[in-house]
Amino acid sequence: MDKLEEIIYKNTREGMSMFLIGQTNSGKTWFIEHILIPYLDKMGVSVQYFKNAEEIAGVKSKTDLIIIDELETFQDARHLEQNHPNEKSYYQTSYIKRVENWFSVLKNIKNICLYVISRNNKEDINFLANSCQFADWDNRKIVTLVFSKDRCF
């Protein structure tokens, strides 16, 4: 089985943007900072990393891969609301507006991107990974990857 960083490298070289979906506090950011970015650098891939969508500024058009951590998608909103009826706080009007502002910035980024998304349990992760094919903001085709510690540590 290929390592996750090798899969991301391959998709980047093939011009495919990706969602990296994993559990909250599972080590996704650590993997990006300590494994993925050094590996991509070694492979000659230029990277810009943003810790969240609100930090996006100064995207360089010649960057091979833009990594945006702590992003959100609404493609699984109905699933989340049906399966977690007591946790609708994510979808309050103020949060929706905030995410829509991120989307307006994201639609202007034409680079290949790795978007990092958290979900709280494996069922929600698998639902999103199996149902998502396009980004919310610009309809670019997306490859979905599921993060788990045993695939990269």
pLDDT per residue as tens, the chain (153 positions)? 579 999 999 999 999 999 999 998 899 999 999 999 999 999 999 999 999 888 887 888 899 999 999 999 988 888 888 888 777 666 788 888 989 999 999 999 999 999 999 998 999 999 999 999 999 999 899 999 999 876 543
pLDDT of residue 153: 34
Tokens matching residue 140? 């670019």
pLDDT of residue 90: 60
What is the Cα–Cα distance from 66 to 104, expressed in whole angstroms? 16
What is the Cα–Cα distance from 21 to 88, expressed in whole angstroms? 20
pTM of the predicted model, to two decimals? Answer: 0.91
Q: Kindly give, in sequence order, each residue whose CB lies less than 8 Å from that of residue 136, ignoring residues fewer than 6 positions away.
A: 73, 74, 75, 103
